Chains A and B, each alone.
Chain A
């Protein structure tokens, strides 16, 4: 398929701990088409960030990646050399992190950091790189871009730093942008501005985006498709509208019922809850990983659940063919 930019098949991430092997990501498969936004959503510890780091080959040393196939634009990354990965990373695939203050180097100017990767990847002159940096800084809405190049990260506000991060990610004209909780550290008004900017740029430049978040509000507003992760697995995925209108997996339903939504929830009334806690990811999980917290558990849930699929591509991993 030529319109698939990222193809993940059977990805697992294992972390060795003193208590045994922690399976942070368990055999997940998904793909991102060119120009689309796929959101990976889930609660802390579900493996969503590990998935993004595994794709970028940025996992911590203790974590091991396994995949049947992990292909970027048809090239299998799991078999690529370090050199080939380096040529792709920051160039054709770029990443935006949650905390721009830790992702930017405090000792270098904004200009230095923007220009460095571009010169490296594109073999461009300093002047060309500078010109592109100024162009992109204005593109992400930063006024007097030329002067900003000489400033250091600490001289910028959180919102501006995140704009610089976005400009940096766009420098080499990537085909895939991976954004890991890009607005979680920001205030709500700035969050709306940054997400709008990301959505506009993505549409204009035709970039595919893999956005990782815990916030269902963001997912609903920005995603074309959604994959819901729980305990290292994708338990449900599908087009955004279908998933929010008729969530099939009890976990997806539970998540949606937990959040107060004006008009749907009664002010001061009771919110939905998901009782219990996430199972330990150390060792194997047999059967459905959600069954201890699910209100519709049956004896059969101790076996691996089947995967159902609707014609419009909504897939879920549950014994219930239609949970609604």
Chain B
């Protein structure tokens, strides 16, 4: 599979005010991410709040310029495509269907707005296209002239999906598309997304904190932690044999409906990630149950393992070969660093 959308060294930082008399501090929401989104796949992006997954989504949509790094669509820098050119091929579905739809517009005018903006078709053609797409997302055509307030949460999310699809995009970036919905509605939306993908050959970037949902819908998963991708693997492999200790902790925390299984022990301790104060070395080391000496000083490299990749010293073949676990000395670390640099 070829990369349809490719991010290289993608970084985004924000200046955060600390109060009137303090200097602004820099928050690295996304920190040097390399990611390729392949045609036809569903790339799940998981991670906890503040890990930068929504910032990544906005950059992939071309809605937020990166501080450093670049994004290419079919090999072409999205900068040169412009916002409109980008919007024709990459479309969003956001979390909250209550705030992402304009309350003063009818459903038909919300869904057809992208067509109008891009000057596609005559009014009659646009109307027809709108009704077709409403049909496709499972909304009765009589909804066309209603307002968002008359619709339930699940119906609104269908409208948001219709609006995303009306431009025939190649990629749909879904940022927590079912998190605001009840479980019975969530399953309807997930089924719809799967059907549309098959029917229209869509590629999804699917961002969620719900791992059971990601396991269900994604073909490949990127796990994010404090602005970095720490593990990237095929869904089945990731859920069967997670490599990164953070991925393991995340999977342990999933409460599947198994009576009697009890509440799992995550082994994470009380430290919590502060994006404003990322720890040196591996960003996960303060919470990691398997941390070693070098984890607090050296940021782990992204190493490839077959089709998967992970950023963890435990899985760095060079590190593992050169030194036994837990006995890494500082000298060995500097030697390794020099080797990397040379």
Q: A residues touching B (Cβ–Cβ < 8 Å)? A: 43-44, 141-143, 157, 159-160, 187-193, 195-196, 199, 214-222, 240-241, 244-245, 254-262, 265, 267-268, 270-274, 277
List of B residues within 8 angstroms of A143 by Cβ: 270
CB <8 Å contact, B270 and A271: no
A218 — nearest CB in chain B belongs to which residue? B255
CB <8 Å contact, A43 and B212: no
Known contacts A143-B270, A189-B48, A267-B216: A220-B257 contact under CB 8 Å: yes
Q: How far is the CA of A61 from the CA of B308 in the complex (A)?
A: 57
CB <8 Å contact, A196 and B265: yes
User: 15 A-B residue contacts at CB 8 Å?
Assistant: A43-B182, A141-B270, A159-B270, A187-B209, A188-B211, A195-B263, A216-B183, A216-B257, A217-B254, A254-B184, A259-B257, A260-B212, A270-B194, A272-B187, A274-B184
B259's partner among A191, A240, A262, A272 (CB-CB below 8 A) is A240
Known contacts A255-B183, A268-B194: A189-B268 contact under CB 8 Å: yes
Q: How far is the CA of A35 from the CA of B184 in the complex (A)?
A: 32
Q: Max chain B CB contacts within 10 Å: which of A157, A193, A241, A244?
A: A193
CB <8 Å contact, B256 and A217: yes
A267's partner among B236, B253, B259, B265 (CB-CB below 8 A) is B236
Question: How many residues in B have their beta carbons less than 8 Å from beta carbons of A?
Answer: 44
B250's partner among A188, A193, A215, A274 (CB-CB below 8 A) is A188
CB <8 Å contact, B212 and A271: no
B246 — nearest CB in chain A belongs to which residue? A189
B213 — nearest CB in chain A belongs to which residue? A260
Known contacts A43-B182, A214-B182: A192-B253 contact under CB 8 Å: yes
8 smallest beta-carbon distances between A and B, as pairs: A217-B255, A260-B216, A271-B187, A187-B48, A43-B182, A192-B253, A220-B257, A274-B184
**A155–chain B nearest beta-carbon distance, Å:** 12
- In the complex, given contacts A43-B182, A157-B274, A159-B272, what are 15 additional A-B residue pairs having Cβ atoms less than 8 angstroms apart? A43-B183, A143-B270, A159-B270, A160-B272, A188-B209, A189-B249, A199-B263, A214-B183, A221-B258, A240-B260, A244-B257, A255-B183, A265-B216, A267-B236, A273-B187
CB <8 Å contact, A43 and B184: yes
Q: How far is the CA of A176 from the CA of B256 in the complex (A)?
A: 27
B188 — nearest CB in chain A belongs to which residue? A273
B235 — nearest CB in chain A belongs to which residue? A267
A242 — nearest CB in chain B belongs to which residue? B259
Q: How far is the CA of A265 from the CA of B183 in the complex (A)?
A: 15
Q: How far is the CA of A267 from the CA of B234 in the complex (A)?
A: 13
Q: How far is the CA of A193 from the CA of B271 in the complex (A)?
A: 12
CB <8 Å contact, B259 and A245: yes
List of B residues within 8 angstroms of A240 by Cβ: 259-260
Known contacts A273-B187, A277-B152: A215-B194 contact under CB 8 Å: no
CB <8 Å contact, A192 and B255: yes
List of A residues within 8 angstroms of B106 by Cβ: none
List of A residues within 8 angstroms of B260 by Cβ: 240-241
List of A residues within 8 angstroms of B274 by Cβ: 157
